[in-house]
Structure 1
């Protein structure tokens, strides 16, 4: 085993190239190209700010993903805790010195773009817990000490992100963490108990929400109560998606988008614009592309000999699935608006950076899928 592990560490460049998952890589590339066309549409069929910015981020982050893929997966295993701590420190920095916008302090100025550390935490939490469960013995997974440790790891960033305030991202971070807990072998009864406690405490939780967050919940329950105010976005989103029909209105021909009836069409509501222009068929095609990506990530996890690689791949695949479901449910009015970007498609450097780092680690797991990690 040690001989095989030693040889696996000595893969040449071309051996690594051969071991790449090209179906996953091509799917990510196609999604990136598609996102550029959709961003071009949000700019009204011109190469303006959002298109240029999205393109420049793809030019930087896609090669970064490839670079990460060629790093040995053991390297990410060794740095998992450090990466988690580094993102925690960035969240602390943002709390005191971050850029404040629309009542929230979530970003730090990196000159090239504004970094939102909470997006990186979506990857850091999976890495950290994957390493923890890689190390912990199976008989200790459900011990009180283990449960308290992992709950603390999850709660620290959630509390910090909630204080920004950013309820949507904190929910997604919690989801990513809970997925790895489940994959790590935590008994289902603990999830049931936690859910019961959550339901009991829900009235108290709601009382601590910001006024705009409470308004989002009320709007979700009845968008027509304020059709020109709080309910405007979701009403226009439904109209745009419904007007797309089976085949859509055609590229650059979305009336809801081009007549500026649809706010935030380049970020959280990017699927609405896409659905209006490409219709039901185009929307299904996009979901098929996402499905291929998720299935390939799950396959890489399944063939990995390392428990760390398996946990990260499965956790990241489920996280991507949740991000997609939350975003689509939000624009369809099935969930309150919580500010969840659609992976790669939505405009935003931090979200794209975090997603590309995740894809890079998955590809690294594929290249090193025969390697054991002690």
Structure 2
């Protein structure tokens, strides 16, 4: 087949499924499997050498997530473009349901009990928000971004779910929603001085916002500034995490040999602090290997975004890649004491159903952009549309 015929085939909305599978970036899929394998091993270790209760469930969720990833990746990108606003509306409705009758756990109301799993809609909203913003910015001209009126809709799209998530309360997820939205604003071409203006406004509101924080959130911030102020209370988690990180040394204590985790000094070792367990058992080398796997995922995501043929695809792939980066950065910085403990899991490694669902959905959409990189998505109403 000639290169011209191949190009025509990829532009054809009826491209055969088998041909789409050839365009799937299997290197990225292998990285997903590698990260999931690391997660399974660490959850096995977290349960003191047992596949119950976390490792088996993690493997089952990853298997289901892979099917979701493939289904999302192979679906026509124009269907995702049309579904962006309805999907956002559905996730917003789920957040409202959480507010009305959601499950309460660990002092927060964040989940909906579906029977077979506890769904956390705020995680899905991270993807839905980026889809909606990518569609919005795809449909307006770059020159329109100079006018503040054109930014009111995307601001409302971002601030509404963030406000609902703050009420749960979940400061970490609300911050990630706003950071993801800010990434899309920047990539779409919003001027930097507007970001500086917003940052100045946020800085001015910090003293007021402090009074609205819950007591446990204030303690987390104060402990972040000085963990010694409450070493047996709010500062216990981060103190034990630092001990485990330091005791791992260069090569670690060995698989299943971590003392902080296996002697129950390390809290939430299967979720928020799983990176600490890995660093204690496999040392700095193991931590750098995991970081390298994530780095390769980010490189793939950026490369796919840069190769996209539509503004929607570029913004979506880059925004989702940035969102995955925020997961990893916040989690690792949190367990090292560089950020307050805000309960952000490590994608594909930490235990949790909704975060795997969200991660696989995100990666499926990134692969979707890769497969359909030459598909035409009209920019209605714009002159010189592609």
- TM-score of the aligned structures, taking structure 1 as reference length: 0.97
String of CA shifts for 1:209-251, please: whole Å, max 9, x gaps: 0000000001101111111111110000000011111011111
What's the counterpart of residue 382 of structure 2? none
**Of 138, 144, 154, which residue of structure 1 is paired with 2:142?**
138
How do 1:116-127 and structure 2 match up within 5 A?
A: 116-127=120-131
Aligned counterpart for 1:156 among listed residues 129, 146, 160? 160
- Between the aligned partners of 1:321 and 1:148, the Cα distance in structure 2 is 27
1:333 aligns with 2:337: yes
Shift of 1:4: 4.2
Is 1:184 aligned to residue 188 of structure 2? Answer: yes
Q: Please tell me whether the aligned partners of residues 172 and 343 of structure 2 are also in contact (alpha carbons under 8 angstroms).
A: yes
Distance, in Å, in 1 between the alignment partners of 2:237 and 2:107 is: 19
Q: How many angstroms apart in 1 are the aligned matches of 2:232 and 2:132? A: 44
Shift of 1:105: 1.0
> Does the aligned pair in 1 maintain the 2:137–2:188 contact within 8 Å?
yes
1:111 paired residue number: 115
Q: Does 1:129 align with 2:127?
A: no
Return the alpha-carbon distance in structure 1 between the equivalents of residues 10 and 289 of structure 2.
43
Task: Flag as ranges the 4+ runs of structure 1 deviating above 3 A.
Answer: 3-7
Secondary structure at the aligned position of 1:141 is classed as helix
Contact 2:228 2:235 in 1 (8 A): yes
1:1-374 equivalent positions in 2, closer than 5 A: 4=8, 7-374=11-378
Aligned residues of 2:13 and 2:76 also touching (Cα < 8 A):
yes
Is the Cα contact below 8 Å between 1:99 and 1:108 reproduced in 2? yes
Distance in structure 2 (CA, Å) of the matches to 1:6 and 1:330: 43
d(CA) in 2 for partners of 1:323, 1:80: 22
Alignment check: 8 A CA contact 2:272 2:345 kept: yes
Structure 2: unaligned runs, 5 residues or longer? 379-386
Name the stretch that deviates more: 281-290 or 4-13: 4-13
Say which SS state the counterpart of residue 107 (structure 1) adopts. Answer: strand
After TM superposition, give the deviation of residue 198 of structure 1 in Å: 0.8
CA distance in 1, matches of 2:9, 2:309: 11
Aligned-residue Cα RMSD (Å) equals 1.4
CA distance in 1, matches of 2:274, 2:106: 21
Tell me if the contact between 1:5 and 1:372 (Cα under 8 Å) persists in the aligned partners: no
Number of equivalent positions: 373
Per-residue Cα deviation, 1:270-301 (whole angstroms, up to 9, x for no partner): 10001111110111111110000010011111
Q: What is the TM-score of this pair, normalised by structure 2?
A: 0.94
In structure 2, distance between residues paired with 1:113 and 1:191: 39
Q: Flag structure 1 segments of 5+ consecutive residues without an equivalent.
A: none
Change (3 A) 1:18 1:236: same
Conserved in 2, the CA contact under 8 Å of 1:8 and 1:368? no
Matched-pair contact (CA < 8 Å) for 1:19–1:367: yes
- Alignment partners' CA distance in 2, 1:228 and 1:35: 29
The equivalent residue for 2:384 is none
- Secondary structure at the counterpart of residue 108 of structure 1: strand
CA distance in 2, matches of 1:311, 1:25: 21
**1:148 and 1:17 mapped to 2: Cα distance?**
40
